[in-house]
Every structure is written in C-alpha cells, then in structure tokens.
Amino acid sequence: MTALPDMPLHTEFDSIDALRTALRGGKASALELAQSALQAAQAASSLNAFLHIDPELTLAQARAADEQLAKGQGGSLTGIPIAHKDVFVTRGWRTTAASKMLADYVSPFDATVVDRLRQAGAVSLGKLNCDEFAMGSGNENSAFGPARNPWDPDAVPGGSSGGSAAAVAAGLVMAATGTDTGGSVRQPAALCGVSGIKPTYGTVSRFGMVAFGSSLDQAGPIARHARDLLELLDPMAGFDERDATSLQDCDGVPNAPGRVRRDFDEALRLQDDAGGKPLQGLRIGVPEEFFNESLSPHIAQAVEAALQTYESLGARRVRISLPCTRLSIPAYYVIAPAEASSNLSRYDGVRYGHRAQSYGDIADMTSRSRAEGFGPEVLRRILVGTYVLCHGYYDAYYLQAQRVRRMIADDFRRAFAEHCDVIMGPVTPTVAKRIGENREDPTADWLADIYTLGVSLAGLPAMSIPCGFGGAGKPLPIGLQLIGNYFGEGRLLAVADRFQQVTDWHQRKPEQQ
C-alpha cells in the first residue's frame, strides 16, 4: 500500500480551470481526486468542518464524472471536488442545518444550488458544518460542535458558513457553497484567508435552502480566489420558477448561467486594454463609517495597504459616507429574527424532525420538541423575532426596521450613483476570536457584524478576499470587502481578480496541523 499524500490531489492545482484542464486531458481522474479528498477530509476530522460524509455517494458521482470525461462530455465542473453547507437540502446526505432538531433528516429533493452544481458536474464530498440554522458568526452554535480555523485550531473559522471556509482553507475541497444572511459567506472567508462572494439578492435560487431570514438569505460560493468563485457562481445563479423571489432578469439581462461570466470577461478585457494601469478610472468608495474606533489597527493597516495596491493599479480612492451604517445592527437584528421566528415555526415535531420523548397534549409536544431541538442562539432569535412581531410592538420595531432598511439601501444607492463604482473596506473589526471567547455575551458577536449587515439589508453583491495577516497571537487572516452595485458580480470578481494577479495572500496556506 502506497503512502497517501498529506494533501488531497486537487491541491496540486492552483485553480479549478487548471484542474479541469487536467481532468479533460486525462491527467487526473475524478475518482482518484474524490478518494484522496475523502481521505483528507477524514484525516482532518479535528477541524470538524464536515458533518456528513458518505463515500459511496461521493464515489458514485466521481465515477459518473470519469465516464463523462472519457466520452469527452461533461460540464464546466465535471470531476471538481466541492462540498455543501449543511443548510442546502440534499438527497442522500442528511441535512441537519447543524441542529439537533434535524439530526436525522434526509430531504426527498435537492436544493436548486445543489442540483445546478451537480448538473455542471461537480462531485460533492458531503455536508459542511455551520452555525445552527445559519445563526451565528463563529460556527460555535453548531449542535455538532464548533468547526475550527485551519490557521489556528483554537480560533473560530467564522460563521455561519464556518465549515465551508475551513474546508477550503484546509484544502479539503476546491470550493464550497455557503449562505450569507448578514455576512455568513464574507466573514468566515475573511477569517479563514479565502475568498467568498454573496451575489445580489434574487440572482441565486433559495429553493432548497433551509430558510433563516428569507428577505436576506442568499447563497454564495467560497473558494481560494475570484476566478474559482466565478466557476461556481456562474452556474449557480439563474432564475428558478420554484423561488418566487428569484429574478427573471438583471437590469434587462436574463438571469441565467453565463451572465456573470460574460460580465467578468468583459470587465477583464477592458482592464487588459488599459495596459499598465488596468484599473484606470475605477472609483473606489471608502466609507468613513467603516473605519471607526472598533476597527483593530492590524485590519486598518491591511485594508489601507490593499487600497494602495488598488491605487497602484490605476484606481482612484473616493471618501464616501454611509451614514446609516450603525443602524444596520438594530435593523438587521429585528428583521432577521422576525423572519426566522416564523420560518422556524415549521419545526414542531409533528411531521419530521426532533420530537420530545414524553409530553402531555399536542401543544406540549410542540413546546417540548422545540425547547429540546433548538440551541440557545436559535431560541434567543426566535424569542426576539416573536417579540418584535407582537401586536403593539410591530410598528415600533418591525416597521421601523424596514424604514431603516430603506435608508441603508438609499445610502448605497447614492454612493454608487454619485461617487464610486465599487466600495471597499474591512469585513470584520478584528481577526478570528478564540473559540469560547464571546460565550458570556451573545450580543458581542452581533456588534462585530457591522461591516457586513448593510450590504445584506440592501441586497447588494459583496465579497471578501484575503489581504493580509494580523492579530495579537498567531498571525490570522484578514479580509478585504468589495461591495458592488446591483448585479455587479462579474465586474466585482474582475476587480478582485486584478488584485489577486498582483498579490499572493490568497495563495498562502495554513501549516499542516
């Protein structure tokens, strides 16, 4: 028996494009890739990035990929190893949303995102850890234990898509799906030193995503760099008749696979034509509210350095103001829990999911099943959400939050209309915290969401890319946030790609643990 490499085979390839070329050229086999990735995932179990692995299911997909490749068929992702956040429902693998409530739940259907990536040929390694029902920013709210940050196992990987970011950072998969309700793709990507994008609300179908805050939830990929994000986002996005909030067109362009790639290619071509100053004319809005006293100096420095890199590429920095930024925390923590309190009502122990062992009448069965099935953060948000929707409080909280939401969106609209093409700033005020650090004060995590919530409330596309390291202890990754105008995913990815062409933060890898 030959010794297995420490890292899975796909880590020898810098990009999905390179791996795809190898697969198509017969220089790599999907089955071998999948086997090595499965072994690596199992070997890295201390990260607790995966919740459900089923080698049979994965290997069957890999064999099918090889058959297609052998016939010269297949899609843009055929044979590429990925994995899904455990809030996307899947046939085969369990879907638990990292909750005891759904500990044994298997969906009879696949989420649209899962289905589309499968159609493109991607091979799934299984389901990734996250905060319970995607509520949290450290992956500590998982009923199945926290996922760990590959850069420091005592640090959180961020959340809620913590398992996704950790798996990509550790090289266990080429890319992973995540969901972002208030920063759950961007923040873990930042804390794990990988790239992630949350597209414009409505461009990716929510069908088959376990709902948290329906008006905010949006799926997005996490990968090493912008080009790999494009490889996932382009086939993921598109109108879906099963989601009434999915958009049929984006500013007159059909919402369909190919849209993001065309915009990316077009933006890149214009950059290339500009020669030595590829980003000549690009106006980068830097919101003063994103550089307040709570921002750690390490992060401020790394972001400043990134902005200087952008200036060296020809971009111009513009000071802007998003005056309602500080209101995004209260607005978000009213709207998201309000929607969650209703979305999570279906988990009552009647049809599926956890049911209490002993109970009195039917109402008691529901109460006990919910009290036992949900973790403390989920219960907290259900209580908050129930409260703000109550008769007599609705106007003061929910309606008021919706008004603030419009004001926040107006801030961004004004900035893009009058001042800039893209907005940049930090993703988080600090680098990854230590596991358990905020356990006594649950709202401390909420305050740390200040830079990501506004974008979610406005429904804008935004991403995080690695831009440095910092922190008091072991150096931990820092992310740069890029915020685009509506439907600007392709252009945003091209702006990120230009940065990644001249920097190597995204190529840094954590030491093998």
Partner 1 sequence: MEWEIVIGLETHTQLSTESKIFSDSSTRFGAPPNTQANEIDMALPGSLPVLNRGAVERAIQFGLAVGARIAPRSVFARKNYFYPDLPKNYQISQFEIPVVQGGSLRFFVGDQEKTVNLTRAHLEEDAGKSLHENFTGPHGESSTGIDLNRAGTPLLEIVSEPEMRSAAEAVAYARTLHALVVWLGICDGNMQEGSFRCDANVSVRPKGQAQFGTRCEIKNLNSFRFLERAIQYEARRQIELIEDGGAVRQETRLYDADRDETRSMRSKEDSDDYRYFPDPDLPPLAVTADWIERVKAGMPELPAAKRQRFEAELGLSAYDAAQLTMDRAYADYFEQAAAQLPQGQAKLAANWVLGELSAALNRDEARIEQSPVQPAALAALISRIIDGTISNKIARDVFAAMWAGEHGGSADAIIEARGLKQISDSGAIEAMVDKVLADHPAIVEEYRAGKQKAFNSLVGQVMKAARGKANPQQVNDLLKARLDAQGLS
Query: Of the candidates 108, 252, 276, 297, which one interacts with partner 1 according to CB under 8 A?
Result: 108
Question: Tokens 């020898």 sit at which residue?
Answer: 12
Minimum CB separation of residue 206 from partner 1 in Å reads 6
What secondary structure letter does DSSP report for 95? -
What is the H or E stretch that residue 407 is in?
Answer: helix 400-418
Which residue number, 70 or 350, has a Cβ lying nearer to partner 1? Answer: 350
Residue 71 is a catalytic residue: no
Number of residues lying near partner 1 (CB under 8 A): 43
Minimum CB separation of residue 500 from partner 1 in Å reads 33
Which residue number, 202 or 454, has a Cβ lying nearer to partner 1? Answer: 202
Residue 45 is a catalytic residue: no
Q: CA–CA distance from 387 to each of 342, 382, 502 (Å)?
A: 11, 8, 50
The piece of 106-114, 118-126, 469-477, 481-489 that touches partner 1 (CB under 8 A) is 106-114
- Is 371 a binding residue for partner 1 by CB under 8 A? The answer is no
Minimum CB separation of residue 289 from partner 1 in Å reads 27
The piece of 19-27, 102-110, 403-411, 472-480 that touches partner 1 (CB under 8 A) is 102-110
Q: CA–CA distance from 359 to each of 102, 345, 366, 368 (Å)?
A: 19, 18, 9, 7
Answer yes or no: are the C-beta atoms of 464 and 196 closer than 8 Å. yes
- Is 500 a binding residue for partner 1 by CB under 8 A? The answer is no
Which residue number, 228 or 339, has a Cβ lying nearer to partner 1? Answer: 339
Q: CA–CA distance from 57 to each of 44, 125, 502 (Å)?
A: 20, 8, 39
State both tokens at 322: 């998003």
Query: Of the candidates 109, 249, 443, 513, which one interacts with partner 1 according to CB under 8 A?
Result: 109
Which residue number, 386 or 503, has a Cβ lying nearer to partner 1? Answer: 386
Minimum CB separation of residue 402 from partner 1 in Å reads 9
Minimum CB separation of residue 56 from partner 1 in Å reads 23
Which residue number, 384 or 422, has a Cβ lying nearer to partner 1? Answer: 384
- Is 363 a binding residue for partner 1 by CB under 8 A? The answer is yes
Q: How far out from the chain centre does Cα 207 lie?
A: 16
Q: Fill in the per-residue mask, 330 to 349: x = in contact with partner 1 (CB under 8 A), - = not in contact.
A: --------xx-xx--xx-x-
Q: Which residues, including other chains, have CB under 8 Å from residue 214's CB and lie 6 or more apart?
A: 206, 245, 339, 343
Which residue number, 394 or 444, has a Cβ lying nearer to partner 1? Answer: 394
Residue 184 is a catalytic residue: yes
SS (H, E, C) 222-258: EECCHHHHHHHHHHHCCCCCCCCCCCCEECCEECCCC
Minimum CB separation of residue 376 from partner 1 in Å reads 21
Q: Fill in the per-residue mask, 378 to 417: x = in contact with partner 1 (CB under 8 A), - = not in contact.
A: --------x--xxx--x---x-------------------
Interacting positions 174-213 with partner 1 (CB under 8 A): 206-211, 213
Minimum CB separation of residue 446 from partner 1 in Å reads 21
Active-site annotation holder among 160, 205, 341, 369: 160
Q: CA–CA distance from 356 to each of 145, 343, 349, 363, 403 (Å)?
A: 22, 20, 8, 12, 40
- Alpha-carbon distance of 151 to 512, in angstroms, equals 9
Q: Starting at the edge strand that comes first in sequence, how are the strands of the sheet with 175-180 ordered?
A: 50-52, 123-128, 81-85, 175-180, 218-223, 195-198, 462-470, 476-483, 422-426, 283-287, 316-320
Interacting positions 207-266 with partner 1 (CB under 8 A): 207-211, 213-215, 241-245
Active-site annotation holder among 99, 107, 137, 184: 184
Beta strand 195-198 with 123-128: parallel, antiparallel or unpaired? unpaired
Question: Tokens 């915009």 sit at which residue?
Answer: 263
- Is 107 a binding residue for partner 1 by CB under 8 A? The answer is yes
Q: CA–CA distance from 455 to each of 89, 182, 316, 333, 411 (Å)?
A: 26, 8, 22, 14, 11
Active-site annotation holder among 29, 36, 76, 85: 85
- Is 456 a binding residue for partner 1 by CB under 8 A? The answer is no
Task: Write out the catalytic residue numbers.
Answer: 85, 160, 184
Q: Which residues bind partner 1 (CB under 8 A)?
A: 88-89, 95, 97, 102, 105, 107-109, 111, 206-211, 213-215, 241-245, 338-339, 341-342, 345-346, 348, 350-352, 362-363, 366, 386, 389-391, 394, 398
